[in-house]
Chains A and B, each alone.
Chain A
Amino acid sequence: AQTVTQSQPEMSVQEAETVTLSCTYDTSESNYYLFWYKQPPSRQMILVIRQEAYKQQNATENRFSVNFQKAAKSFSLKISDSQLGDTAMYFCAFMKHQDSNYKLTFGKGTLLTVNP
């Protein structure tokens, strides 16, 4: 079974600064996806960024980028130029790609607060 660990329950950052959220995972699979999801207070979960395990290049989406270290099974999220709207719970998630059964395994989340 896959496990996802987020070791930082809470983090805070000043507006316009950069913050990095950590995530490690454990799997014996070679073909999988990794995701970061954002869950704002009382709002629905949305996808922030996705990384495919076979790709060595780190994914980027505007101010969001990842540092994917496959051998170390590490998948951190960097948020640059933090904005007040980035305040949310962030979940790291793993998806095994097997027989087209796309099942997500989530970490416990990191609560990020962006301070003005």
Chain B
Amino acid sequence: EAGVAQSPRYKIIEKRQSVAFWCNPISGHATLYWYQQILGQGPKLLIQFQNNGVVDDSQLPKDRFSAERLKGVDSTLKIQPAKLEDSAVYLCASSLRQGAFSWEQFFGPGTRLTVL
């Protein structure tokens, strides 16, 4: 089966510009996660969707970050305006919502963002 797809793979922007990342989860996976992985650190959950509803966005900097998951499939994460400290790899992951294996998250390749 196809894995989690993300685009773009790399993005370089100036501070105060805006940027958007796209994620397509594994077909049939109801839960979608966005993580931020700063260099030298482990991934940190930004937002979790269940279908098209938000389950947890407690660590999302809502003054500049936004995310949506229209129709419960693809998702977009946006940063506006970007700051230098937003430089990181943004990982998307998905998992089944039901059943014994709903704990397992499958990760995409990530988008590496550099803010200059």
Seen from chain B, the residues whose Cβ lies within 8 Å of a Cβ on chain A are 3-4, 31, 33, 40-45, 48, 55-56, 91, 95, 97, 102-105, 107-110
B42 near A103: Cβ-Cβ < 8 Å:
no
Across-interface contacts of A50 in B (CB, < 8 A): 103-104
Across-interface contacts of B102 in A (CB, < 8 A): 100, 102
A4 near B109: Cβ-Cβ < 8 Å:
no
Across-interface contacts of B45 in A (CB, < 8 A): 103-105
Of A91, A95, A105, the contact of B103 (CB 8 Å cutoff): A95
Across-interface contacts of B107 in A (CB, < 8 A): 44-46
Of B33, B48, B56, B108, the contact of A44 (CB 8 Å cutoff): B108
* Alpha-carbon separation in the docked complex, A106 to B56 (Å): 16
Seen from chain A, the residues whose Cβ lies within 8 Å of a Cβ on chain B are 4, 33, 43-47, 50, 91, 93, 95, 97, 100-109
17 A-B contact pairs sorted by A residue (CB < 8 Å): A4-B42, A44-B107, A44-B108, A44-B109, A44-B110, A45-B43, A45-B107, A46-B107, A50-B103, A101-B55, A103-B45, A104-B43, A106-B43, A106-B44, A107-B42, A108-B42, A109-B40
